[in-house]
Amino acid sequence: MWGRPWYIYISFNESDVQTADDFYRYLSQGLEGHELVVWNPSEMAEEDYRREATEFLERADLFVACLSLHYMDSPNARWEVQKAVAEYRRRQGALQVLVLLVRDAFVPAVLRGFPVAPAPDEPVEAGPVSRESQLKRAAARARDLLEGIARSVELFPLPQGPAFSLTFEDVRERLLVWLQYTDLGPLFELLKRLFHPERTPDDLFQLEDAFAEWRQQSQRSKLSFQAFIQRMQAIRLDLGHLINRIDERRFRDQWSNLFAEGYYGWSPLPPVADPLAGLFLPFGEIHMPDTLNLPSQVRNDEVWEGAGTLTMQQQQEFRRHLLLAQDALGAGQYARAHALCEHVRAHIDPQSAQLYELLLLSFLKKEGPDRIIYDAVYGTGNKLNQVIVYAGRFAEYQSARKCPSEADSYNLRATAEALSNALLRLYSTFENDYILHTGRHREEVPDHRAAVSKIIQTAMVVYRTIHPYRGFLELAVNEMCNGGKYDYIQRVEIINDEFRFASQEDFGIESEIREVIGMLEEISNADDDELMNRQLRENLLFNLRAKRFRLQAQVAEEQRRYVHFTDLRESVLELVDAALLGYKIFGDENYADEESFLRFAIEQLLPNLLRPLASATLPQAIGQVSWFVLDEQGRLHPHPECRRFHFDAVGVVEKIVRDHAGRAGWMQVHPNLLEAVRQQVVAHADRRYEDMRRQLEYRDFRRPDPTEARQVILKCLREWKSAWLAAPDQAGPLLQRILLELLGERALLWMRFSPFQLLALPECTALGYDAVQEMRAALNSPGSLPEQVALRILNHNLFRRHIQPEYQRIPAGQEEHRYEITRLLLEALHQYRDLHPDPDLLQFVFDELTLEHKLRWIDIRSDAQAVPWPVAMPFGFDPVDILRQLVSQMPERFPAMEARRRIAQRRFAEQERRYYREISPILLENKRIERQIAIEIIRALKGIFRFYPDPAFLHLALEEVEGRGRIRWNSYFLGLLPLWTNHYENRFFDFDYLAERSEVRGYLVTAEQWMAHVEAQASRQAI
């Protein structure tokens, strides 16, 4: 539910005022019940227009551009469109842009890609559709955009809280430290960005003007250094009073982000007008040096008395060149000033601090600190080496008081500060963020790791060789502690109960950080050490919280767009590593939970097990990332994905808890953590299992691949078992889930007979899962199903889901499938014997052997004996013996006479089909071979009758031997008169039709006696 007003900015040309008003009227009708706030520029001063418009656009939800032919002719309209598009890109969908086509006009390039209403080429005015209809369509399109924003916010809420957890007093502390810098220009620029334009105090502008005027005056006129310092101290004192009096309400809404962007180099810093404004240009008296630079053996040789002193001509030349250099510096001719000083150094080479101060200043002014730093990072570094040489000589002669400068070491500090600021400006141009740029985002920005490392080394060189200045070194500590652009931790290990960090660079990360902190401590007094370390710690913690917030926003935006570009696990692990490094370097003693590195780290790993902070702030986790799983024995184990990063999640959490609450605390946390992971594993397995079961119900292209489905369900089974072993006292529901799945009651079948014993399916064995062993282990566990019940369920499912479907898929009458059918029959028999005595299994076998749905199994010889069908039977299968056992074991369900009747009917039908198929009804066409077939059929029919005395089986034989069939059995006299003698061909087959006729007639007369005889025989021999 949208709980605030809709802010709508309608931009239009003066000629389209009526259309804009009517559009708003229809839109308000469509959004009845919602409060609308619309931009109203009427009666507004021109100088306030863009400022007020900017503030409204920063919170607007919809920007409507009323496009007509002369819309872009207005400067304000062009500015509004550009500002709205910039806000659209910055706010990533929180502001929607709609083009209202008032009159037929060309859509400018800046608005292309945004939705057009009512429709392209259908303007509101002078169009083919009525004006009211077009306005209603446009209002409906605008309403859809606003409702889309509301749905997006409800489904994918952005992270709550400040983007940068920096308090106002923290900013005040750092601003006061900034007062110690030689150049106050960047401080004034930062303050002007922080203050709201309407609430900026006039004192700030007055102090800035005073500072700029004094800087210009100091370069135009020859001021003493003492006057310069006194005036600068007065400006600093007034600015310090102003900073101490600042009220947070005077700052902009996003003041913390603005401060962090400039202070920590998050975004590129704007270029400065004069990066060397902090230098003091000396215009004092030139001191004449007494001696030149000579080798030590010459200076120590008493024979050369007076050697190394300057002549009068050299002194005059020295003075003249340095005065000319001072004038050239004042006139801005820095190359000429440097050339004059170089001439003195090359031809006279005196021991003068003033000379090398001018060399240093002229070289800095000529080259500029940005070029010097760029050459040091990407080039040969010769320019920085030149600065180091000049600064070294200057410091040496100044300490020896040889032609000392009136500014003492002030310009060395200013040089170090200028180079440090140049390092910060170059550092801020890198858009890398190792937390955000993971996964597919890693390829979006170039790799500047080598450049950042070189910048840190350069900052340390400036500290050691030019002047001990803290400037960029604070940011270097933050960068090496993983609070900046790159990560420097390859992996975290726990050795001797301590966190150890393997560095990605060629140096020890901890020792390097402590070395830089030691440098900072050397230049601060004892009272400031604690403040400096606290600020360094706060800098790191602030940056990590800001990175977490930006990562949450990035992940929320990806979820809103249904894309997954960020490697969330890698990003969160990098945050945890940085927090652990901060804990190792700065510690957590005497800090509340809100400022604890350990708390920050464990919030990402155990958000659901932490209590809210004292400020009622809930633990903040990023996304749904699992860090723990259960192994095969139900023990807590790191997630398999952690191996990719060499991260022992269990060991790290245990170490954090023990450091915070001791071993007893871990003993309390471990069971709760195990139970939480167990519930998480069960819930995750249940979701995946139900989803796969739902997919398996499909019978079209949506049905998943069988191997893939089995892998998913197998993983669920293993996770259920791990959860069961983790809490055996709560294993009842899990055991039933596992057993019902293994018994085939739910998704898949996992075992079958082979056909003589119960084995796991080959698909399970290939995946390393023995379903039979797992079933037996589950049945032997407390709280399991009764074994008889489980076996009955398994038997039912094997027959219903395996044997019957396989049997139905086999086509009838194809001998090549005898192996499969025989296997199914044997599986049914062994299921009956080994699992559960289900009569349906035997009925299935009995029906196949007697009714012969698929193949023929039992033949009847001419002597009325049942024998297996004359083919090779796989597995040594004897159908006659199987049928005899079925009849003898269950005579009421499987009567012997019923079995004989079924078999006899099938054999009689075969003989009858053979008779009509192979013997022609035309007597003259039948030769000896047909006679032989007929004799075989007659004899077979007699055997069938004696197997089951049904008179119908002899009707065909009787018709044939009585001469009403298709074969002539008697002979003819002279081929004309029939005789009662056998055809001459009958003797070839030992066939006497007269005797056969008598025998057949006798069978028919005594059919009842034969039936009684067969029944008695069947009762004795079963079949």
Q: Where are the domains of the chain?
A: 6-155, 168-263, 275-300+307-429, 896-1021
Residues of the chain with pLDDT under 70: 1-3, 43, 92-93, 151-165, 218-223, 290-308, 525-528, 608-621, 975, 1022
Decide if 546 contacts 539 (C-beta within 8 A). no
Decide if 824 contacts 803 (C-beta within 8 A). yes
pLDDT at 614: 45
pLDDT at 304: 45
Single-letter amino acid, residue 286: I
Distance separating alpha carbons of residues 297 and 303, to the nearest angstrom: 11
Q: Which residues, other chains included, contact 628 with Cβ-Cβ below 8 Å and sequence gap of 6+? A: 636, 637, 638, 639, 649, 650, 673, 677
Distance separating alpha carbons of residues 321 and 358, to the nearest angstrom: 11
pLDDT at 403: 86
**CB neighbour burial string for 358-381, b if at least 16 within 10 angstroms, e if fewer:** bbbbbbbbbbbbbebbebbbeeeb
Distance separating alpha carbons of residues 815 and 79, to the nearest angstrom: 86
Decide if 465 contacts 388 (C-beta within 8 A). yes
pLDDT at 156: 45
Distance separating alpha carbons of residues 724 and 728, to the nearest angstrom: 5
pLDDT at 222: 64
Bridge pairing between strands 6-11 and 62-67: parallel
**Cα atoms in the 13 Å half-sphere on the side-chain side of 463:** 23
pLDDT at 801: 92
The CATH superfamily assigned to 6-155 is: Response regulator (3.40.50.2300)
Distance separating alpha carbons of residues 682 and 426, to the nearest angstrom: 51
Q: Which residues, other chains included, contact 544 with Cβ-Cβ below 8 Å and sequence gap of 6+? A: 483, 575, 578, 579, 582, 600
Distance separating alpha carbons of residues 513 and 594, to the nearest angstrom: 24
pLDDT at 1018: 84
Residue where the block lists tokens 């070395």: 515
275-300+307-429 CATH: 1.25.40
C-alpha distances in Å from residue 287, one per residue of 219, 317, 323: 20, 13, 11
pLDDT at 609: 67
pLDDT at 158: 47
Decide if 363 contacts 338 (C-beta within 8 A). yes
